[in-house]
Amino acid sequence: MRSPFCLICSLIVLLTVTACGPKTAADSTETQNPTTSSPSATDQTAPASDSMVADDDELMARGAPTDRSMSRMAFSFEQQFPHLHQLLQSTPTLYDQFSTYAQQVVTGDRIASEGDILQVIGQRDQTIIPKLNPIFEELDEDVFYEGIEGYVEELQQLGLSIATAEGMFVTLKGHKMLASQIETIGSEPLKLFLEFQQADANSMGGEYPYNNLAPYRDMILIGEELYANHPKSEYYTKIAPRFQEALSTFVGVFQVTEQDYQSYRVGDPMNQEYYLMSEGETLEAFVKENTQSRYHALISEKMKSISAISGKPENLYLVHFGAESTEEAAKARQFELLNAGVAASHLVRVTMGNGKSNFILTHSFFEDSEKASDVFDQLEPRHKDVKLMMCSIYKGELNQLGI
């Protein structure tokens, strides 16, 4: 038997050999580069490059955890969106499609370019919303109200919101989403384009879609900024029709007086549908606050001589800048005039003396002939093509009587 002393000596020799054994690659590097510092915070948080994504793929192939695989493992549609999980259980195909969409929105997986952002938003607008709408439309009213707070909260996390009218479901619409990705990789034109889309979504009302013109104001301000700074951008091309429509709606507000009660409407003065009811506070706020807008001067002019009509007019006097035979041509001409600073606020359909209908590019209209003449006199020195037209009203339609 070996003595305790011999055992202790053997242990010392073993520890010495282990400590002095072959150096690892890391040990060699450390010895050769003693002054090398640890990576800076900037290096550690640098955006992932294509090569870094490839490295992630290699790690995942070997079964090693990565940021992306960890985010996938952490995602649970059932746990994170319990109300929507319950709602969609009876539609397995839609459930799978929507949960996959939700995972991409929540984790940011495979979103590395503007094209990826637009793909996700396009999927939401063209696929998810059309397929989810019928689910909500057919939902029992009591079930809807019972889960409304949960639905709203969960949908907003996924770039969706609910539009209602009189407390009833109307439609799903877009909501802000992918904020960090948009901020990091989005260009300025893309950001303005998405802001415009959000303002457009906000304009989707229920029973009274024009009762709040604030989203139209936002569309005008964002649209003109995108046009001024990026007129040849594909993003301006995409918003141009809706921008034109929003501007026409905004400047087309007029007053209606019935039994000493004054309200506002948009659209053709002969159309008295209740859904066209509107408001004037947003235009007043625009005049006061948006002094740098290219449309400030013409909207200020409009508000000083805003068109007015009663509930049951008999005649109407139009102060106008000419006519077009088609609505499409009239809209294009109106946009040209508005961009030139001319307050062609309304497109009014009138049956002319020859029996044909024209669309009159109208500055303002009044039942009071003296008011119309005053506005005409103010405009004539600056606009040589301004005219005054008298119209009678028969069966809810305007008919030209004079020039």
User: Which 3 state secondary structure label does DSSP give 172?
Assistant: strand
* 65 pLDDT above the threshold of 60: no
- High-pLDDT (> 70) share of the chain, %: 81
pLDDT at 201: 93
- Give 319's pLDDT tier (boundaries 50, 70, 90): very high
pLDDT at 391: 95
pLDDT at 402: 64
Q: What amino acid is encoded at 150 in this protein?
A: G
pLDDT at 236: 96
| Predicted TM-score of the model (pTM) | 0.78
Instruction: Output phi, psi for 167, to 5 deg.
Output: 80, 0
Mean pLDDT along residues 239-258: 96
H or E element that contains 321 = strand 315-324
- High-pLDDT (> 90) share of the chain, %: 69
* 80 pLDDT above the threshold of 50: yes
Q: Could you tell me which of 160, 174, 165, 173 has the C-alpha nearest to residue 83? A: 160
User: Which 3 state secondary structure label does DSSP give 324?
Assistant: strand
Q: Compute the mean pLDDT over every residue in the chain, rounded to the nearest whole number.
A: 84
pLDDT at 62: 38
pLDDT at 73: 52
Burial of 28 (0-12, 13-18, 19+ CB in 10 A): exposed
Angle, alpha carbons 226-229-231 (nearest 5°): 70
- Give 274's pLDDT tier (boundaries 50, 70, 90): confident
pLDDT at 327: 96
pLDDT at 283: 97
- DSSP conformation class of 313: -
Of the candidate ranges 158-167, 171-180, 211-220, the one whose mean pLDDT is the lowest: 158-167
Are the C-beta atoms of residues 105 and 120 closer than 8 Å to each other? yes
Q: Could you tell me which of 401, 284, 294, 292 has the C-alpha nearest to residue 352? A: 401
* 34 pLDDT above the threshold of 80: no
* 55 pLDDT above the threshold of 80: no
pLDDT at 403: 56
Cα four-point dihedral sign 76, 82, 83, 86: positive
State the Cα torsion 246-252-256-261 to the nearest 10°.
Answer: 50
pLDDT tens digit sequence for 101-156: 999 999 998 999 999 999 999 999 999 999 999 999 999 888 888 888 999 999 99
pLDDT at 168: 84
What is the C-alpha separation between 81 and 83, in angstroms, rounded?
Answer: 6
What is the C-alpha separation between 55 and 68, in angstroms, rounded?
Answer: 11
What is the C-alpha separation between 110 and 351, in angstroms, rounded?
Answer: 57
Of the candidate ranges 61-70, 103-112, 137-146, 335-344, the one whose mean pLDDT is the lowest: 61-70
Q: Where are the domains of the chain?
A: 66-185
Mean pLDDT along residues 2-28: 41
- Give 18's pLDDT tier (boundaries 50, 70, 90): very low
pLDDT at 164: 86
240-257 b/e with 16+ CB inside 10 Å = b?
eebbbebbbbbbbbbebe
